[in-house]
Amino acid sequence: MKSRLFKDLLYEQVARIGKALSSPKRLELLELLAQGEKSVDVLATELSADIKLISAHLKALKEARLVVSRRDGKYMMYQLTGNDVAGLWVTLRQVAEAHLIELRVALDHMVADPSNLAAVSREVLLEQAQRGDVWVIDVRPRSEYETAHLPFARSIPVGEIERRLAELPLDKEIVAYCRGPFCLLSDEAVSLLSARGYRVHKILDGVSEWQAAGLPVEQLLSASEEIHAGA
């Protein structure tokens, strides 16, 4: 009897994670927080939801020890408790893609033109970017790029593309990425650049997918780290 009660307790603790992940909004919150620390206000805007509702979802994630919070002036800031939480989101999504035809169909509809996808492996893309054969652009907000980004990627948020066209080469392929397969920012970037004569493709990976595949990411040094590094 004691053994049964103990096993029930073990499964109950693991089930806390499953319960916390049982909401579509909470899954989207995990994806957004995998990009870096964000305030409740920013998260509410990104999800087009009421702040009270987002706060309630964050509370559930916090109770499951998937996120932590801190106060920064009048704002409550949230971040994931570790990269393994971002990896959990990637694994969960991949399992869903493998077993749910409805999800695969929906993803196919998102990628309206498969020719927009880069046709090389992650490793080959990394080699091409290192040689300068392709330009990889991160079209997420700058703060997310600073938290972590793909090696050799340049930060050009989608909202800045039109005024920064002069920075982009017309004689090289451009590869855009954003937050992952469910993110549409890279599609917008491809549309903008292809209409202006650039050779541009996208990849479905975000930073979390890149890390889950065991590939390196880069981070920008903070101001204090730069001073220390230069000392």
Do residues 29 and 36 lie in contact, with contact meaning Cβ atoms separated by under 8 Å?
A: no
Which of the residues 178, 193, 203, 212 is marked catalytic? 178
62 CB-near residues (< 8 Å, 6+ apart): 68, 69, 78
Q: Which of 138, 123, 116 is nearest to 198 (CA)?
A: 116
User: How far apart (Å, rounded) are the C-alpha atoms in residues 70 and 102?
Assistant: 38
Annotated catalytic, 178?
A: yes
Do residues 194 and 170 lie in contact, with contact meaning Cβ atoms separated by under 8 Å?
A: no
**DSSP conformation letters of 191-219:** HHHHTTT--EEE-S--HHHHHHTT---B-
Do residues 194 and 108 lie in contact, with contact meaning Cβ atoms separated by under 8 Å?
A: no
Return the SS3 of 166. Answer: helix
Active-site residues: which are they? Answer: 178
